[in-house]
Amino acid sequence: MEIKETAAIVTGGASGLGGATARALAARGARVFALDLPNAVQKADPVDGVTYVPADVTDAEQVADAVSTAVDSGLPLRTTVNCAGVGWAGRILGKQGPHDLELFRKVVEVNLVGTFNVLRLTASAMSTTEPLENNQRGVVINTASIAAFDGQIGQVAYAASKGGVVGLTLSAARDLASFGIRVVTIAPGIIDTPMLAGVSDDFRANLAAGVPFPKRLGHPTEYAGLALSIIDQDYLNGEVIRLDGALRMAPR
């Protein structure tokens, strides 16, 4: 699918995986609408071709307004990349007692419900665009995690939320097939994003040492590159792709 002169929505688009993807799409000629929380949008570096839109992915009205902004650009909305997410940790039973139920709800709300909210609203907008060859109208790329398959101790909420994203992939692709909209999920391993900014060099080295090959952390640009490849490959649909250097996470 052609990227140039189309509109794209990227959630979590102010930094990390989303920021790298927004820049990569803009470099390919897309008009990118990068959704993120207001404080993240305020800190984002200006990028030609990228418009930052304050929006909470769990808020139906805010996302609907952001989608309308993209549609009103005059370019066909063909691409959505869902990168917004949170990763708080906690054991089911810890020193402070049972896992906080509201924390579990929040992680699932952002990572799973937020992903679905953006999926449903952007797919609705894509369904009204002029079809391309083979009736194709667009593609939605979601972000899971290898924690969906190899959840570690303390990752019960995160693993459950990302497992949900994996689980909806094929069903969503089948649901949207009649509209010419593909759905593909990327499950990253340990990527060097701002979420790791506070860890020590020793801890970072230990993380890298556990990756079979290449023995390093992943780069956000590699995620962005894979996202562009998915957009380019029209026959790729309903699949979950691990981007992890063959890493399989240990229990802890």
**Cβ-based neighbours of 9, under 8 Å, separated by 6 or more:** 32, 33, 35, 66, 67, 70, 77, 79, 80, 81, 118, 122
Residue 230 to residues 95, 213, 241, Cα–Cα distance (Å): 44, 22, 10
pLDDT tens figures, 99-123: 999 999 999 999 999 999 999 999 9
Range of the domain at 132: 7-243
In a domain, 22, yes or no: yes
Task: Flag residues of the chain having pLDDT under 70.
Answer: 197-198
CATH number for 121: 3.40.50.720
Query: Is 235 assigned a catalytic role?
Result: no
Specify the number of domains making up the chain: 1
pLDDT of res. 194: 78
In a domain, 250, yes or no: no
Q: Which residue reads 């009736």 in tokens?
A: 135
Which helix (H) or strand (E) is 236 found in, with range?
none
In a domain, 78, yes or no: yes
Angle at 206 between CA 200 and CA 208, to 5 degrees: 105
pLDDT of res. 200: 79
Tokens, residue 86? 């949170």
Rounded-to-integer distance, Cα 131 and Cα 180, Å = 8
Is the bond preceding residue 98 a cis peptide, omega within 30 degrees?
A: no
In a domain, 122, yes or no: yes
pLDDT of res. 198: 67
In a domain, 47, yes or no: yes
Out of 52, 158, 223, 235, the active site residue is: 158
Residue 177 to residues 106, 126, 135, 169, 171, Cα–Cα distance (Å): 31, 12, 9, 12, 10
| pTM for this predicted structure | 0.96
> CA Rg, the chain, in Å?
18
In a domain, 126, yes or no: yes
In a domain, 249, yes or no: no
Sheet with 7-11, strands from edge to edge, namely 50-54, 31-36, 7-11, 77-82, 138-143, 181-188, 240-243
In a domain, 252, yes or no: no
Helix (H, G, I), strand (E, B) or coil at 142: strand
